[in-house]
A = this chain, B = another copy of it.
Amino acid sequence: PADINPNYFPARLWRLVNSPRFPSLRRDARGRGLLIQQRQFERAVLAVGPGSHGAPGANGLFKAKRCASIIRQLNRYGFCELAAGASSDRDGGCSGPLHHFYGPHFVRDRPDLLVRVKRLTEANRAKLAAGLEGKSRPAPRSQQ
């Protein structure tokens, strides 16, 4: 789309969740939520340790070292966690914590809704409460 800044969190998250290369961050079955396998996510996507960014394509997506930083971003953009719990238990608990987030306007196969995922600033909170549109920094030029 036109006015989405590809460097900002929603666009980065969109690219990551649509990449089959990183199953540690994927959609849930309904296509409305996010699943994060913390341990694998930190290892595969975040900048933990020197030899971490094995997979190019994730390199540079996030500069965070902590999964908590990504969770802070999710909250900042209006996502909330649904059911916290350990992961599927099939592996004897080896997969670590599993996070399940639900995000407004972050729907599978609906990139057109992505422009609505706004950073919750003080002003945007008020506007959302009033049913209006939030404002962000304009995106850099991209020829559509």
Contact = CB atoms under 8 A, between A and B. Distances in A.
A18 interface: no
A50 B81 CA distance: 21
Number of copies: 3
Contacts of A92: 49-51
A141 B135 contact: no
A102 to B, nearest CB: 6
Contact of A142 (B97, B138, B140): B138
A110 interface: no
B50 A59 contact: yes
Given A96-B39, A97-B65, A87 B49 contact: yes
Contacts of A51: 92-93
Given A42-B96, A50-B89, A65-B86, 16 more contacts: A6-B82, A7-B83, A30-B143, A43-B96, A47-B63, A48-B86, A48-B87, A49-B89, A49-B92, A49-B94, A50-B59, A51-B92, A56-B89, A60-B85, A81-B140, A102-B141
Interface of A: 6-7, 30, 32-33, 39, 42-43, 47-53, 56, 59-60, 63, 65-66, 68, 80-87, 89, 91-97, 102, 104, 135, 137-138, 140-144
7 contacts: A39-B39, A42-B96, A47-B63, A48-B93, A49-B94, A50-B89, A104-B141
